[in-house]
């Protein structure tokens, strides 16, 4: 990435984020996702600001992108911007709006390569105007990861990093690491579009191994997340160890 292009991106980000910094985003230490069972996975009952959260899955078709955005909706209610790094052109604004994402406070950046992804992610996380960064981060070395974590601490927002589960054994500076798996709806519920099982693989200051199943409910054009008790299976354990 050339320096002129970097300067152009920085200038555009700063100008647009400056317009959003006037929103009265409460500086709470811990933010609720709006789903009690999901919040209870974590030691303080929610996601602490200024941290990175990893969303691991076995493939892009699992729907972890949709789920993570749905979780982000509640986090954005306090104000601040959502920055989406969309290098593959997969972000679809109408679908995001249906989930409840405030498009008027959403900035979509399309980096051309991994270097631009990491550089732009760091700039966004450092901004106090960013409440949430959403990015697919497949290739992160320890040094780059540490820079992102420090940037999140400075900016005070949250970073959602979507990564392949195969990278779960690599060094991580994330505050929490989640494994997402799509599951069948054993009891047919027409109002539930999809169910996911979320397992807490790692969390600073808390025990790992907790699980919850979260579903996306779509009733009368109102989308929200619901939860139910999750049950582990040997097949799930084998998938994580692969």
pLDDT in tens, 186-204: 666 767 778 899 999 999 9
Look at residue 45 and tell me if it is in a domain.
Answer: yes
Q: How confident is the model at residue 238 (pLDDT cuts 50, 70, 90)?
A: very low
pTM, to two decimals: 0.83
Residue holding tokens 């970073």? 159
Q: Using alpha carbons, list the distances in angstroms from residue 71 to 2, 96, 143.
A: 35, 12, 28
Look at residue 238 and tell me if it is in a domain.
Answer: no
Look at residue 21 and tell me if it is in a domain.
Answer: no
pLDDT, residue 142, reads 92
Residue holding tokens 């040094």? 143
Look at residue 4 and tell me if it is in a domain.
Answer: no
Structure token digits, residue 138: 């497949």
pLDDT in tens, 56-91: 998 776 789 999 999 999 999 989 999 999 988 889
In sequence order, the 6+-apart residues with CB closer than 8 A to the CB of 107 are: 13, 16, 17, 81, 82, 83, 84, 124
Look at residue 8 and tell me if it is in a domain.
Answer: no
SS (H, E, C) the chain: CCHHHHHHHHHHHHHHHHHHCCCCCCCCCEECCCCHHHHCCCCCCCEECCEEEEEEECCHHHCHHHHHHHHHHHHHHHCCEEEEECCCCCCCHHHHHHHCCCHHHEEEECCCCHHHHHHHHHHHHHCCCEEEEEEECCCCCHHHHHHHHHHHHHHCCEEEEEEEHHHCCCCCCCCEEEEEEEECCCCCCCCEEEEEEEEEEEECCCCCCCEEEEEEEEECCEEEEEEECCCCCHHHHHHHHC
pLDDT, residue 189, reads 72
Domain containing 37 equals 31-181
pLDDT, residue 103, reads 96
pLDDT, residue 18, reads 59
Look at residue 174 and tell me if it is in a domain.
Answer: yes
Look at residue 222 and tell me if it is in a domain.
Answer: no
Percent of the chain with pLDDT over 90: 55
pLDDT, residue 193, reads 74
Q: In the chain, how many domains are there?
A: 1
Look at residue 35 and tell me if it is in a domain.
Answer: yes
pLDDT in tens, 156-196: 999 999 999 887 778 889 999 999 999 887 666 767 778 89
pLDDT in tens, 88-129: 888 999 999 999 999 999 999 999 888 999 999 999 999 999
Looking up residue 71, the CATH number of its domain turns out to be 3.40.50.300
Q: Is the pLDDT of residue 147 over 90?
A: yes
pLDDT, residue 70, reads 93
pLDDT, residue 224, reads 79
- Phi/psi at 216 (nearest 5 deg)? -100, 110
pLDDT, residue 38, reads 93
CB atoms within 10 A of CB 1: 15
Q: How confident is the model at residue 218 (pLDDT cuts 50, 70, 90)?
A: confident
């Amino acid at each position: 990435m050339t320096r002129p292009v970097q300067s152009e991106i920085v200038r555009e980000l700063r100008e647009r984020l400056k317009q959003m910094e006037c929103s009265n985003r409460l500086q709470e230490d811990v933010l609720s996702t709006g789903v009690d069972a999901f919040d209870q996975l974590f030691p303080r009952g929610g996601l602490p600001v200024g941290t990175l959260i990893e969303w691991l899955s076995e493939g892009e078709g699992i729907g972890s992108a949709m789920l993570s955005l749905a979780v982000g909706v509640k986090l954005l209610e306090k104000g601040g911007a959502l920055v989406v790094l969309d290098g593959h052109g997969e972000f679809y604004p109408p679908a995001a709006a249906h989930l409840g994402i405030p498009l008027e406070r959403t900035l979509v950046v399309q980096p051309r390569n991994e270097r631009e992804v990491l550089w732009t992610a760091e700039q966004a996380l450092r901004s106090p105007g960013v409440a949430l960064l959403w990015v697919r981060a497949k290739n992160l070395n320890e040094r780059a990861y540490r820079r992102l974590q420090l940037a999140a601490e400075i900016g005070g927002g949250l970073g959602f990093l979507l990564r392949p589960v195969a990278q779960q054994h690599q060094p991580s500076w994330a505050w929490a690491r989640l494994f997402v798996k799509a599951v069948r709806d054993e009891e047919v519920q027409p109002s539930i579009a999809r169910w996911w099982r979320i397992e807490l693989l790692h969390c600073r200051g808390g025990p790992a191994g907790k699980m919850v199943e979260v579903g996306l409910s779509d009733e009368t054009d109102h989308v929200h997340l619901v939860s139910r008790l999750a049950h582990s299976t040997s097949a799930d354990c084998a998938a994580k160890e692969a």
